[in-house]
Each structure stands twice: as structure tokens, then as C-alpha cells.
Amino acid sequence: MEHTKDFKVIVVGGGVAGLTLALMLEKFDIDYVLLEARKEFAPQVGASIGMMPNGLLVLDQLGCYEDIEAKSLGYSFDDMHIRAPNGESLVCNRYMVSHLLKRHGYPMMFFDRQWLLQVLHNRVQYKDRLLVEHRVSRVKVSNSGVQVSTDNGKTFSGSIVLGVDGVYSNVRREMRRVANEVQPGYFPPADEDNATCNYQCIFGISKDVVGLPDNEQCLVTGEGRSFLVMSGPEQRVYWFFFNRIPEPKHGDEIPKYTRQDEAKLVKKSCHLPITEKVTFGDLYAKKISSTLTPLHEFVFQKWFFQRILLMGDSVHKPNPISAMGGNGAIETVTDFMNSLLELRDARKHGLQNLTTEEIAQLFAKVQETRMKRSEETIKNAHEMQSLFALEKPTLAKLAIQYMGSRLAPDDGMLQQLAGPVIGSTKLKQLPVPSRPRAMPFDHELPGQPKGTKHAVRLSTILTIYAILLLLVSFKGTSVMFNSITDKESRLSLLERAWSGRRTIVEGYQAATGDSMAKLQPIYLVSQLISPLLIYTIEGYRSSNFGSALVFPSIFTSGMLVFGISGIAPVHAILCSWNSHTTPVNRFVPLCVAKVLVPLLTAGYILPSLMMFLLPISSPGWEVYGVWKFPPLFFSSLTAIVVLAVRLWQLNKHSTVEGQEAINRELESYQNRDLPVLKSAYEYAFATQATAHLATLAYGHSLGLPLFGIDFTALGLNKGPLNSDIVLASLSILGYCLYAVWDLRRAGYIRTDQAIKASLCTISGSFVVGPGAAWAGLWSWRESIIADLSKA
């Protein structure tokens, strides 16, 4: 204890956060004492706790995870239902906990809060530092330390006080009292009023409830109310009944409830359905314990004063429907510990003789680190409660229906749960146990994720980019037609083009002569291989389900009307608005991946080659020939074949049950599609690079410039690559650079990797062509995302 001599922490509160903090202090040999007001550390008060992967990871670092599994008998529900007010299931997400375990390395667990407290208490080595029946009555602060007095007449001296003593925190009361005496106005009066109560809640534990499904969690909706019910080990059922109060209460107005208040609410609500067969009355009749409590919601704006710091429910309290209260408290004490150890290692004499100013800076850093995430947690929990209590019935029903449309074939709810989980923290000076998981935590990523505000800015930039490209496209088209010297020919060409009797190829022929009439469209058609392939892949990728990206035929058709220069920015904008691809929703069904190369060859490349074998004057060159038939044929053929294969698979596996059904459900985590997709990208790369190099070689043989681009006129030039192709190349390049930026924004690559990838894409667009560069980038991108998985 050489570097922590004379430094002592007084922890107030022996709940989940307090005992977790005690374990951390012991791990790093920091002296402390923990004061708990109750008579025991693990009382049975009828409360349950939901542990999420973010909290379990930290407890795993502290060596508690196996004990928690053993205490909860390894039990966890698997299916999650959202139910209508009459108990009918609206949405069912099957194998939910199995998915969480595969994704994050830890499941979601619900069990008696007492069990977790027992595990934490048993793990503390120095039990003499854990003192019960010590309720804090007074706190004194000086320049050299703090003194804490308890109502049993004892006094404890230390360097700092950490208040993790819950919603009705005595440490918070004393901190504000001291601040008002020493520095009036430090805490604005309105800060205490930030505590708001919109709901009351009866929470409880029941046992042997007849008719309630095992292995299930359900959220039951209702106007002004909702239920959260989870099955548990030993035939237990953990439940919450959330009931909206007539008017919100603030601060000291928030009431405390009696047993009589609980009985009145139960009598009024016992008829409410939980499922089609079970009512709240049936649940309550089998209760082991229950409590009616107001639900505080708040994040205070100031968490500390001098040597006193608040953490957990004493300073940030979410609605329990999110299951993030205990997990959030664990995160806060973890960030405190990280900051404390960082300060210790930065000082020559460790934590000895810390000044009040140094401690205040330490506490300010903890608050700054946790404030935004705490506010988001409280906000998300509030919105979740509002949704399921149908506060805005029409919007709520639409949202639940949308959620159902995402949940049925995909993982919408799992994505919602992932957000609060992956952004969590860890103990930086303890190893993270190696547990397979497909989705890394943010602190495991190669780069630091950027904020979502950057994505909004990028969407605006891409929108402007799309408009400019379209304007330039029209400018280029105008120049192309103006390059035809004969006015009558020009008007005739326009008239015939608009009437649909001739194609752009005839414009090329009129302006450049027969020598280039086929070469330019052949090049353009070859460079459409990547857009067709990638738009199809993105259309079937699980991360894009529920967005406009699932209709690749829209973009295929759009290319024929607006060109790739008009469609690529639109697709990029939609991608930026949609959630970015993660290792768990990168998956493309194998039935899609395996048919891409055969269908691309048979549905697009071969028909296009056959069209180009026809004479220019033949009907095959008309507008419904080479320019429209192959892309649409490929899209239609792919949709038909994939639908047929899926129907066949559905029929084949319709009777699969048990572990085999779970294994099929979880196959997307195995990355079996990755080698197939990479083969498709390689095929596209080779085909388009060959076309690009052949075009340049042929143009050079005719004595034309290497690239033949007239940037000043942006018109139809005499080189092998005309202005339309230049615009298409620029739009593809812009889309590719956006994709690289998006990987960096998500933290999947470092800044130096992003720069190298961008430079390779830019140079590759000239050396092997824009289509090949796009295919090569997407192959690399696919590997980058897949390699993040540790499943």
C-alpha cells in the first residue's frame, strides 16, 4: 500500500454498486470502509435485478461471473413477447437470450437481487471493512479529509466519501448541506426538482403460477400502464406492474406508499390480462413478496462537492423497465475506479496527500465521462415506458407494429438492446476474460467511435453532393447535344431520344463516329457490374431490413433513368440514415450469396455481350434493348430464384425443433457467407478491371489520350471515357469514400487505415477502374467487419 498510504475511501451504501466498488478497491489494494444502514447486506426485500452484458462483463473481471451463474442455477428465459392489452402476443423474438449470449458473450439474467448481493458479499476478502447498521447522519469536510458520523454514535475519517446509498441518499442530503454552508449557490435549487415521478410500480416475486409459460419474458402494453414479467429459476416469476399517476410529481412532492395503497391498486387492477390465460390477479395471488414504490427518474447536474461524490441511484435513476439501473451504477463505479487509478499512476507518490482541488478534478472527470451516457439511459428508459404504456396510442401502436415487422424475420429488438450494451466501460487495469462474442464492445474496437452527429452532417453533405452531381449530369447532357453542330440533327436527336425510339448510343455515334459507338457503352455496361452486385447484396443484408435498401430493383431501375451518378449518392444517403452494419447483422443469407455469380453471369453479363454482338442499326440497340433488359433481368431473376430457395428451405425445416432449431437460428454468427461473398467480389473485380484496361489499351491504339477526359467542357470528348462515365466514376468514388468514413466513424478501423483505404480506392479508380475499385473495397470492408467477431 506504499502509493495509497494515508488514502482511505469511505463508501456509503452496501447495495450492488457499493459492494462492487468494495471489490474493486480490494483488487487494487486501496484502503476503505463500507457503511450500510440495513441490518444485513443481502436482505430479502422482494426485489429482483436484471443483469445485462455490460454489467456482467465488469463483474466477470472481478471474478464473480461463475458464482452468479451458479447462484441463478444457470437459468435464463429465452423468448421475448410484446403483448396487447388483452394478453395476445403481438411480437415474439425467439431465442433472444441465446442471441445475446452469441452477440455479447453474456446473456440477460433476471433473479433475486438478494442472490447477487450474496455473491458480491462473499467475494469481499476483508469482511471487517463491511459494517451494517451504520446509517450516515453527518458529513464534515476539511482541506485534509472527511469525517462521517453515523446514527449509532461512531465517526469515521477518510480522504473521500462516495455516496452509493440510493434514491433517498443521506450523503446527497449532507453534500448539499455542506455546499450551502461553504459555497452558497453551488447547487441550484432547481437541481433537486429534476427528480420526476410519472409512474408508480408494484414489483414482486411469485412462484408456481399456473398457466404462465416457462422460459419467457413478456412486455404487456396498456393505456397508462404496462407489465414486465419474466420467468425464473425454481418456478419463480419476476414481475413489475407500471401504473401512470394522474399528474407528474417532482422533488419533495413524490409520495411514499403504504401497504394499504398497494392493496387498493391491486384490487383495482387484478383483472388485467398478462397472457390470454393469466391475469395480474393470478400472478399476485402466488406472490412471495411485493412492494409498491414511486419511480423516480433523474440525472442531477452536479454529482460532487469537494471530497464528496455521488454515484448510482443517488445521482442517476432510470425507469426499471430498461433493466439498466444496477448495470448503470456498476458502470459509474467502474469509471470512477479507472479515473482514480489513472490519477494514482500519474502522481509520483500515488494517492498520498491528495489536495481538495485534485480530488474535485478527479470527480469532475468521472461526471463528465458518465453524464451523457446516463442521460441517454434515463431518456431511453422513459421513452420505452411511454411506448408500452401507450401514452400516444396511435404512434405507439405504429411503432410496435414496425418493431414487429423487424422482429419477425430479423433482430430489431436485439439491435435496440445492443446500443446501451456495447457503449459500456471496463476496468482498464484488469484483463477482460476471453468469452466468444460476435459483437465487440466499443472499448475493444480498433478505433474510437465517432458521435452520431457526424452521421447527420454527412447525410447533409451527401444530399448536397447528390444535387450537384445531378446538376452536372444535366450540364453534361446539354453539352453533349450542343456538340452536334447541325441544329436540325440536334433537335431531331432530342425528339427521338425523348420519344424512346433511339438510345444514347446513337448520340455517341452521331457525335463521335462509328469507331467509338460501341466501345463507350460497353465500358459503361461493364462498370455497372459492381452496382448491380453490391445493391443486391445490401438489399439482402440483415442490417438493412426495414429500409428502402431492401429493394435493389429500385436502384437498378433508377440507374437506367438517372445513371449511376444520380443513384449512387441516393443509395449512400439511405445507408447513412440506416444503422451501420455490425458484425452480427453483416450476414447475407447463404441462399443469396451462392447464386450471385451464376445469376450475374447468366442474367446480366451474357445478355449484355449478346446485345453488343448485334449491329448498331438493329432493333436490339433500341431503348428497351441493351440499356434496360439485362439489369432488370438480373434483378428479377435473383428475386425469383432466392424466393424459390427460401420457400424450399422453409418447407424442409418447418418441423425442426429443439437444439437443432436454435442452431439454425444462430447460424448467421458463423460467417459462412464470407468466403462466398468474397468470391463474388473477386469475380466482379476481375471482370471490370479487364474491361477497364482493355478500353484504355484500345483507345491508346487509336492514338487517343490515356483517359481522354475534357474536364473544362465536361462534354462528350474523343477519348474512350466520356463525361457520363466520368460522372459515374465520381459518384462511385464518393460512395466508396463514404463507406471508408463510415467504418472509421463506427470505430472499426483506425484513422491511418482509413487514409490508406481512401488512397487505394482513389488510385484504384484510375488503375483498374471505378467498378473494380468498388468491388475490391467492399471485399476488404466485408472482411474488416467480419474479423471483429470473436464468436
Classify 354 in phi/psi space as left (phi over 0), alpha (psi -120 to 50) or beta. beta
Confidence at residue 777, expressed as pLDDT on a 0 to 100 scale: 97
C-alpha cell at 320: 426499471
Q: Beta partners for 521?
A: none
Residue pLDDT, tens place only, 383-400: 999 999 999 888 877 777
324 or 489, higher pLDDT: 324
39 class by beta-carbon count within 10 Å (0-12 exposed, 13-18 middle, 19+ buried): exposed
Which residue, of 409, 444, 479, is where some domain finishes? 444
The 8-class DSSP code of residue 601 comes to: I
What is the full DSSP assignment across 675-707?
HHHHHHHHHHHHHHHHHHHHHHHHHHHTT--SS
Q: 218 and 163, same structural domain?
A: yes
Confidence of residue 410 (pLDDT cuts 50, 70, 90): very low
Query: Which conformational region is residue 306 in: left (phi greater than 0), alpha (psi within -120 to 50 degrees), or beta?
Result: left
Q: Which has the minimum average pLDDT: 104-118, 172-186, 228-242, 616-630?
A: 616-630
Euclidean distance between CA atoms 709 and 714, whole angstroms: 8
Residues 408, 472: one domain?
A: no
CATH number, position 438 = 3.50.50.60
In terms of domains, do 242 and 314 share one? Answer: yes
- Which of 172-186, 295-309, 566-580 shows the lowest per-residue confidence on average (mean pLDDT)? 566-580
The pLDDT of 687-708, averaged and rounded, is 74
pLDDT in tens, 776-789: 999 999 999 999 98
Are 466 and 333 within one domain?
A: no
pLDDT tens across 179-223, in order?
999 999 898 877 766 789 999 999 999 999 999 888 888 999 999
If asked whether residues 497 and 435 sit together in one domain, one would say: no
Is the pLDDT assigned to residue 246 strictly greater than 90?
A: yes
DSSP 20-85: HHHHHHHHTT-EEEEE-SSS-SS---S-EEEE-HHHHHHHHHTT-HHHHHHHTTT----EEEEE-T
Per-residue pLDDT reduced to its tens digit, 713-763: 333 344 444 555 666 677 788 888 888 988 998 899 999 999 999 999 999
Which three three-digit cell numbers place residue 22?
468494495
Residue 7 — left, alpha, or beta (φ > 0 → left; ψ -120 to 50 → alpha)?
A: beta
Please tell me whether residues 376 and 475 are part of one structural domain: no
Considering the domain architecture, whether residues 528 and 411 belong to the same structural domain is answered as no
Does residue 690 or residue 508 have the better pLDDT? 690
Distance, in Å, from the CA atom of 52 to the CA atom of 28, rounded to the nearest integer, reads 25
Bridge partners of residue 203, in order along the sequence: 240, 291
What is the H or E stretch that residue 202 is in?
A: strand 196-207
Specify the pairing of strand 8-12 against strand 160-163.
parallel
Residues 535, 404 share a domain: no
Whether residues 379 and 497 share a domain: the answer is no
Does 668 or 483 have the greater pLDDT score?
668
Q: What's the alpha-carbon Rg for the chain, to the nearest Å?
A: 32
Residue 298 has pLDDT above 90, yes or no: yes
pTM given for the model: 0.84
Q: Count of CB atoms within 10 A of residue 50's CB?
A: 23
Judge residue 103's burial from the number of C-beta atoms within 10 Å of its C-beta, 0-12 exposed, 13-18 middle, 19 or more buried: buried
Which domain, by its residues, includes 269?
2-444
176 plus 48 within the same structural domain: yes
Q: Which of 444, 474, 499 is the last residue of a domain?
A: 444
What percentage of the chain has pLDDT greater than the value 90?
51
Final residue belonging to a domain, choices 444, 467, 498:
444
| Exposure b/e, 250-265, CB count within 10 A at least 16 = b | ebeebeebeeeebeeb
* Amino acid 725: pLDDT: 60
CA–CA–CA angle 132, 137, 140 (5° rounding): 115
pLDDT at 724: 56
Task: List pLDDT tens digits, range 327-359.
Answer: 999 999 999 999 999 999 999 889 999 999 999
The per-residue DSSP string of 280-321 comes to HHHHHHTEEEEEEEEEEEEE-S--EETTEEE-GGGTEE--GG
Please give the Cα distance from 414 to 543 (Å, whole number): 12
- pLDDT per residue over 476-493, tens digit each? 444 333 433 444 443 343
**What one-letter code names the amino acid at 193?**
D
How many domains does the chain contain in total?
A: 2
CB atoms within 10 A of CB 457: 12
pLDDT digits (tens, 9 = 90+) for 33-66: 999 999 998 877 768 899 999 999 999 999 999 9
In this structure, the answer to whether residues 353 and 490 fall within a common structural domain is no
Q: Quick one: 641 and 618 in the same domain?
A: yes
Name, of 364-368, 401-405, 448-452, the range with top average pLDDT: 364-368
Torsion of CA 367, 372, 373, 379, to 10 degrees: 130
